[in-house]
Amino acid sequence: MTPTPEQPGFRIEGRHVLFTVIAFFGVIIAVNGYFLTAAYRSFPGQVSETPYEDGVGFNRTVAQRRAQAELGWRASAAAAGPGVEIDMRDRAYQPLRGLRIEGVLRRPATQAGQISLKFTEASPGRYLAKVGPGSGAWDLHFAAAGSGAEVFEGERRLIWP
């Protein structure tokens, strides 16, 4: 038998491994950089203008929510054509009359485009505010005040076509 010469072919060498590892981590770093940039551009990182004061006032908020629960009022809100309709009921599910209701519509993801609302009583317990928001989802934040010191605050997500 005569020895056969080695056939030339592809052999993995150290430089191939080096370039493969560099390319792998390069892709990982590039994708992470893209996601970080997209995240920073889409979210300002600030949930509240006054985070310390919000934390200090937490006990006050808890007390207010307890008082509201003891009040027993119920509210339902709906997007009613070109406006917002709120139906207010007491503990016995009777309509609440003569309330002063003010509110605001905000987009869920941004503070831009905020719309202030003033409600008028259309029928016993039914309050309307005429507004023409753009289509899509809006968050309604409202406060209803009675003849005494009672206050009811509510939040609802409303969707216009």
Say if residues 110 and 42 touch (Cβ distance below 8 Å).
Answer: no
The answer for residues whose C-beta is within 8 angstroms of residue 74's C-beta and 6 or more apart is: 88, 89, 90, 93
Q: Which pLDDT value is given to residue 1?
A: 62
Tell me the two tokens of residue 4: 């056969």
User: Considering the chain, what percentage of its residues have pLDDT values greater than 70?
Assistant: 94
Domain parsing of the chain, residue ranges? 13-44, 73-160
pLDDT of residue 151: 86
Q: For residues 144 and 32, which has the higher predicted lDDT (pLDDT)?
A: 32
6, HSE (Cβ side, Cα atoms, 13 Å): 4
pLDDT in the model for residue 3: 61
Annotate the chain with three-state secondary structure: CCCCCCCCCCCCCHHHHHHHHHHHHHHHHHHHHHHHHHHHHHCCCCCCCCHHHHHHCHHHHHHHHHHHHHHCCEEEEEEECCEEEEEEECCCCCECCCCEEEEEEECCCCCCCCEEEECEEEECCEEEEECCCCCEEEEEEEEEECCCCCEEEEEEEEEEC
- The yes-or-no verdict on residue 57 having pLDDT over 80 is yes
pLDDT score at 44: 67
Q: Residues of 60-74 as b/e, b for ≥16 C-beta within 10 angstroms?
A: eeeeeeeeeeeeebe
User: Is the model's pLDDT at 2 over the cut of 70?
Assistant: no
User: pTM value?
Assistant: 0.61
From the centroid of its chain, how far is CA 56?
Answer: 23
Query: What pLDDT, on a 0 to 100 scale, did the predictor assign at position 110?
Result: 76
Q: How far is CA 6 from CA 10, 79, 138, in A?
A: 12, 81, 74
121 or 33, greater pLDDT: 33
Mean per-residue pLDDT over the chain, rounded: 86
pLDDT at position 160, please? Answer: 79
Q: What is the pLDDT of residues 90-144, one digit of tens each?
A: 888 898 888 899 999 888 877 777 888 899 888 998 999 988 777 788 889 999 8
Highest-confidence segment of 2-11, 116-125, 141-150: 116-125
- Return the CATH number of the domain spanning residue range 73-160: 2.60.40.10
